[in-house]
Each structure stands twice: as C-alpha cells, then as structure tokens.
Amino acid sequence: MAGSFVEIQIPQQKLYSGIQFPVVITPSPAASFTLSAFTKTIEAQKPYLEAQLRKSGAVLFRGFPVNSASDFNDVVEASGFEEFPYVGGAAPRTNVVGRVFTANESPPDQKIPFHHEMAQVPEYPAKLFFFCEVEPGSGGETPIVLSHIVYERMKERYPEFVDKLEEHGLIYNRVLGEDDDPSSPIGRGWKSTFLTKDKSIAEERAAKLGMKLEWLEDGVKSIMGPIPAIKYESTRQRKIWFNSMVAAYTGWEDARNDPVKAVTFGDGSPLPAETIYDCLKVLEEESVAIPWRKGDVLLLDNLAVLHSRKSFSPPRRVLASLCK
C-alpha cells in the first residue's frame, strides 16, 4: 500500500511464490480522486509502482476516474516512462491522441494469440499500458501470463525442443500488403509498418530491425531472424519465453499468409505442430483473464508477461500505449 493507493484481491488473480499476479490497486476509501490527483499520486509513487511491476509483472488500476483517451494519455505521461515508437509491429492500429493508440483493430470474432509485444523484432517496448474506454458487451478480456512460468513448464515437458529453440532461435516470415487490412490481425501494410511510401526507405528501416524484404507484385515478404526465442532476463535472473512462436504458428493467417510457414526454427526446419499446440495449452492454463471494466488501466512489463485478446461482442474499445 502506498499513500492513497490500496492493494485489493480479486477472484481471477493467481498466486506465484506468494506474489499476486497481477497486483490490483484501487483508491483508498478515504481518498476522493480526481484525474489530476490520480496522476499526481502516480508521479509521487513511481518507486512503489515500479517495485510492484518488478515483483508481479502486471499492475491493474481499477476504480480511478480515467474516462477518455486524453485522460489515459495523462496517466501514461505521469508514469514518466518514455514513449516507444511503433515501427515494425504487425497489428493495424491508429493514433488516437498523444501517445495513445487503438489496440489491435482486428475483428471481434477473432482471438489474438499470446505474445510479447513485438518479440519478433529486435527492438520492442519494455512496458505496455492498456485502458478500457468502453467495456465489452461480453468477452474481450486481455489474458496475461508469466513468461518464465511458460519457459519452466515447456523445458520440463519438452527439453529437447527447448534446447533446439535456445540453440537456433526462430525465423519469422510475413507477407505485407501495401496498405493496412483491418480485417486481418496481422494486416498492417508495409507503408504504415515502416512509416514511409518509399521502398528504399522501407528497406533501410527494415535492415535496421534486422529484417530482409523481398518485394512481390502486390506487397512484400519480410523475413526476420534468426532471432532468439528464449531470453535471459537479468533484472529477475530467469529465462523467459520471449517469442511470437505460438502467435505466428496459430494466428498469422490471412489472405496473404499461411501460419505454418510464418515461423520456423532458425535453421529453417519446421516446428513440430503438436508441441506448439501443447504450448498453447500451457499458456491458457497459466493465464489470468480479468473482465475489463470501464476506466481500468493495466500496466504490463513486456519482458515478464505475454498478453492476448479473447473474442468479444461489441462494443469494446481498449486503447494502448507502448513505453521504453
């Protein structure tokens, strides 16, 4: 507890080594919170909040007066975390205000599989904020799962597979159209992926990310890797399942992309389907899915936690902000 913040427990939380996942913070009953009181408390309590994030990997703020995208932008600014520019990600998203974007705009009937944000490129955000502006009609949770737990369970179950992942890493292949295709969860076109209309600038920006481009008649194939699939996270001294393998293999599907070809071992050999689907089960078993309430703000450590999205019935508007 810190000042006017109170930690509470909710039924969906999981307990790992005595630590709640996620930590849930609400206003103390005695405090009457305006938005500016909330942002000031965030500024004043930054060491406490960073300690909670380091300990748990995820912090949910519930019951605070955050009503609009610009309120949410104020909360993100108050955190003091630097903005992360969204270059190289796969999801179609739109800038709403300041540092705030729509979360993945793919259709409501589609699930978005578990992933670390931008784990398929060498530069990725360290922290993510999500904000529920409009509560879902039903469904639409953003399930979260601790990456080191996934690593431990997979290592126990498939030691040879995990050894091969650690040795070779992964290669990701994705075909991008010219413009955004909002009907696809990976429908971000090459122009908005690389923030340019010029093919040679796109190639330069791709090369900076370690990505090769092969131009096609109506788009481009991007090849990323081999890049590591398992990382050692030095702050917490543990290995994490830092990859988009399950997401790519089970979800990178649209008119241009066949998910089975979307990801391979770093030596080019195919991944075993059975193991991937078992990993999906592990992710689901260990995950926490908290139904969104209007005004909820969820802060994730992108190195500790994978996230996903369940399908939903509209309306639902969840906004996001990526930080370094």
CATH 3.50.50.60 assigned to 147-284: no
Whole-model pTM above 0.85? yes
Work out the angle between the directed axes of helices 35-44 and 69-79 (0-180°, nearest 10). 20
Model confidence over 174-233: pLDDT tens digits?
999 999 999 999 999 999 999 999 999 999 999 999 999 999 999 999 999 999 999 999
pLDDT for 92: 74
Q: Torsion-angle region of residue 255: left (phi > 0), alpha (psi -120 to 50) or beta?
A: alpha
DSSP, res 68: S
> What residues does 20 pair with on adjacent strands?
15
Q: What is the model's pLDDT at position 122?
A: 85
Cβ(313)–Cβ(125) below 8 Å: no
pLDDT at 54 over 90: yes
Pick the CATH number of 5-143+289-323 from 3.40.50.300, 3.60.130.10, 3.40.50.150, 3.30.300.30: 3.60.130.10
Do you find a cis peptide bond into 226, omega within 30 degrees of 0? yes
Residue linked to tokens 């690389």: 194
pLDDT digits 0-9 by tens, 270-287: 999 999 999 999 999 999
- What single DSSP character describes residue 83? B
Ranges in the chain annotated CATH 3.60.130.10: 5-143+289-323, 147-284
Which positions ≥6 away from 261 have C-beta within 8 Å?
Answer: 173
